[in-house]
Structure 1
């Protein structure tokens, strides 16, 4: 497999110590990741308010779209639907159907056209689709909102392949843990902030306000990307000659930076590499657990543990907050290990991948068997905390193996993970056909 040849950075290291344009690019990617994951996760909370279940139904119902019954109106005059549990599961999985389809094309396009160009399209188009979600629900019913979420998935599919393409050309090796954590930890901070906000907005103004607010925020971020984001260091007019030399020397990319067309991805070498398959499978298995938690925590807290919509929003945010904070603890530990050369880069990645494995499984399984709601929430928080170690494990490993082809290679692993994201809520919806705790324990 082709990989970048790394040599030592400049002796004085001044460009490496100063804040520069690469930090601006990383901050833009982090902000985009924050908003994009909020857009992805907001339905998990909104569905608690927009779908009537036996535990929260009241009043007379009338026949509605798709043959389902429907409450007349909820908070803020918003329509409340009486969809079946399987419909809820399919709706929560709809995003991942589209997300899966656009992974490989997104990774390829980001590599050929530039990560920043695609990132601008991703956040803008996803935000527009989010703004249209309430209208789809009002006038099109279940089929329309399902299609809307598929479209959101398609448009957001190139998100992380684009970011990894940018990381591969902007970030020196010695800064990979820090930059990767800054960006990927937003997957956890997004739901942390979005969940209580969604819960408050749904209780105060009705569930449609969630999509209007977050869709508008996404358009603002899209505007910032159009203004400030750049595909490569050599193409950014704001970068200093010292910082450009620092990045190109660390990555030895001066020749590649001058090329208008990116080199073709060596797919044969990639697909026949055992280490790549181990990386992809590892990422997929970890993602399965994460997606189950992402899509089902609000429903579990509402239907099984009996929390209100506002309590639900606050409690849903706690696991992600724990994961976000833990990711920086793991980043500090990884930087300490690498700076002291206590482990090789390969063994360091393996160490943090191991931390993310068994403890998560034990916590998730134990959640179904504890006797109190408090212990259930504590165990969910602990399980999400260990996900922080995946950022300096499997997530950073892509940059180690082939930074020049990071976007396309990451898209394969993300596609495999997204396939499990499709399955997760469907499986949950099939098993949990009524809000009974013992039925949920099957998971």
Structure 2
């Protein structure tokens, strides 16, 4: 590994000098680089990776339906199965992602995330290409192994991208560009859900869903190898003006000081624990809806595979559009000093969690005769869920700029665990997939989890930088600092 990725003993600590900020801000305002610069290019690469990860993660939602439906494809020779453990298959991805997420932020800070992201994409692409063969040869167990390994490979991505955004995006652009990058995941879910229905119904059948993902994974890896960079300083073709603009909009870096991750103080921080619960509640609700909507539409609403794929995309489209509206509102509340950062996060999280609760309760009382109403309710539910992007999702950066990647790794790990538990529990709650009452239990349970996590976040959450952000400072070389 090249010298620029050599390990350092601890993380870099950032300090802010009040007097220098005014001079820096006035100079930055005069020269902010090109309108579309390398920071935008990096954000688009980040968004395209989230697009790809969403395609891989969400492809099984439609895929599992087609793999167990002999009438899905016009090709009678496409192999199908009669698996009863569909809930376990859907949850395997999230079980696999639990282990690497905790340490991924630390690894990204220490070595730089670029090559971890490239490696993750390549591994996922290979596994997608192998998945149909694994299904033919080893049945559902082969598919589950592939999904666990894909989840493990993708486990490093959330924290790594969070750290990259912290290096590339100025604070006042964070909500807008961060929402743009996060929108890649929503677009990915839209595209793969829509195309999966048609691919599964085509002559090539359900295997083509996974072959498509594999090809996209290799393509992204090649592009990011040449275009990606850990920091503006490492980028080979960034202009001096844009590099100055980015680096001087961020807190000044004191390279003579280092700090270790204050694990104990993080896990005993009420504000962080509230953020952790908010992330867990959101993951439970979002991924249960994303993974099980196609099965719900097929078995309760009696929709065919093409209609299923098309209608399942509508909630994601609305979620993506509404995320920009909530982002603008959030930035306005903060920039005009109408609300503090912490209050804005709580307002957005409340909108994004409690409104879906009411809609899910209504959805739980819907039957096959209410197919149109069910589709509308799910669309509106996903629209409100998008408020969480401007709610808790950037709260890691609010609490601790120095440890944001580590915090994201922790909350992502626990969020994946809750997702895996939730998807597995659906298999035992919904024994008869044609029974709307059993699906109603899933929707009621999800509503309850939304309510509990939101109340705790509103009482204990914060938008202030925590005291442990700058603690446990070590001098890299005390003698050298003394001489200086």
- Give the TM-score taking structure 2 as reference length: 0.83
1:40 aligns with 2:51: no
Give the C-alpha shift of residue 271 in structure 1.
2.0
Instruction: State the 1:240 CA deviation.
Output: 1.6
The residue number in structure 1 matching 2:344 is 348
- Corresponding residue for 2:458? none
Measured after TM superposition, the shift of residue 410 of structure 1 is: 0.4
Asked if 1:280 is matched to 2:285, the reply is no
CA displacement, residues 274-333 of structure 1 (integer Å, 9 cap, x when unaligned): 211111111111111001101100100111111000101001101111101100111111
Give the 3-state SS of the residue equivalent to 1:394 in structure 2.
Answer: coil
Structure 1 stretch 309-318 or stretch 328-337: which is displaced more? 328-337
| Number of the residue aligned with 1:156 | 154
Maintained 8 Å contact 2:14/2:251: no
Q: Say whether the 8 Å CA contact 1:4–1:404 is kept in structure 2.
A: no
In structure 2, the CA distance between the partners of 1:265 and 1:117, relative to structure 1 (3 Å rule), is farther
- Given the superposition, is the C-alpha separation of residues 252 and 303 from structure 1 closer, same or farther in structure 2, using an over 3 Å criterion? same
* CA offset digits 1:6-49 (Å, max 9, x no partner): 84524434316732211111110000101111111001001111
> Greater CA deviation, 246-255 or 9-18?
9-18
Q: Look up the SS of the partner of 2:366 in the other structure.
A: coil
Write the distance in 2 (CA, Å) between the matches of 1:162 and 1:34: 15
Contact 1:38 1:191 in 2 (8 A): yes
The 3-state SS of whatever aligns with 2:81 is strand
Match of 2:223 in 1: 224
Q: For the Cα contact (< 8 Å) 2:52–2:185, is it kept in 1?
A: no
Q: Which residue of 2 aligns with 1:129?
A: 127
Residue 117 of structure 1: CA displacement? Answer: 2.2
Where do 1:157-196 residues align within 5 Å? 157-196=155-194
Partner Cα separation in structure 1 for residue 201 and residue 151 of structure 2: 27
In the alignment of these two chains, the number of paired residues is 421
> What CA distance in whole angstroms lies between the structure 2 residues aligned with 1:442 and 1:80?
29
CA root-mean-square deviation: 2.1
1:269 positional shift: 2.7
Q: Sort the Cα spacing of 1:209 and 1:242 in 2 relative to 1 into closer, same or farther, 3 A.
A: same
Gaps of 5+ in 1: 59-70
Paired position in structure 2 for 1:377: 375
> Take 2:66 and 2:302, find their aligned partners in 1: how far apart are those partners?
14
Q: Show the 5 A alignment for 1:295-314.
A: 295-314=291-310
Helix, strand or coil at the partner of 2:230: coil
Taking the aligned partners of 1:419 and 1:78, their CA distance within structure 2 comes to 34
Instruction: Work out the CA distance in 1 between the residues paired with 2:252 and 2:80.
Output: 55
**Inter-partner Cα distance in structure 2 for 1:386 and 1:186:** 18
Any idea what SS the aligned residue of 1:441 has? helix
Counterpart of 1:83? 83
User: Separation in 2 of the partners of 1:294 and 1:227?
Assistant: 33
Q: Is the 8 A contact 1:123 1:222 kept in 2?
A: yes
Q: Which sections of structure 2, spanning at least 5 residues, go unmatched?
A: 1-12, 443-484
1:211 aligns with 2:210: yes
User: Take 2:172 and 2:326, find their aligned partners in 1: how far apart are those partners?
Assistant: 16
Deviation at 1:74, TM superposition (A): 7.5
Q: Decide whether the 8 Å contact of 1:74 with 1:80 is kept in 2.
A: no
Find 2:431's aligned residue among 405, 430, 433. Answer: 433
The answer to whether the Cα contact below 8 Å between 1:4 and 1:402 also exists between their aligned partners in 2 is no
Q: Shift of residue 369 of structure 1?
A: 0.9
1:339 and 2:329 matched: no
CA distance in 2, matches of 1:438, 1:275: 37
CA distance in 2, matches of 1:146, 1:341: 50
1:294 matched to which residue of 2?
290
* Separation (CA, whole Å) in 2 of partners of 1:337 and 1:121: 40
**Between 158-167 and 360-369, the greater mean CA deviation after superposition:** 360-369
SS at match of 1:403: coil
TM-score by length of 1: 0.90
Deviation of the 1:133 alpha carbon: 0.6
Q: Specify whether residues 244 and 76 from structure 1 end up closer, same or farther in structure 2 by C-alpha distance, changes over 3 A only.
A: farther
Aligned to 1:29: 46
Q: Deviations over 1:199-241 (max 9, x none)?
A: 0000002000000011101110111111111111111112222
Closer, same or farther: CA 14–40 of 1 in aligned 2, 3 Å: same
Would the aligned equivalents of 1:99 and 1:154 in 2 still touch at CA under 8 Å? yes
Residue 108 of structure 2 corresponds to which residue in structure 1?
110
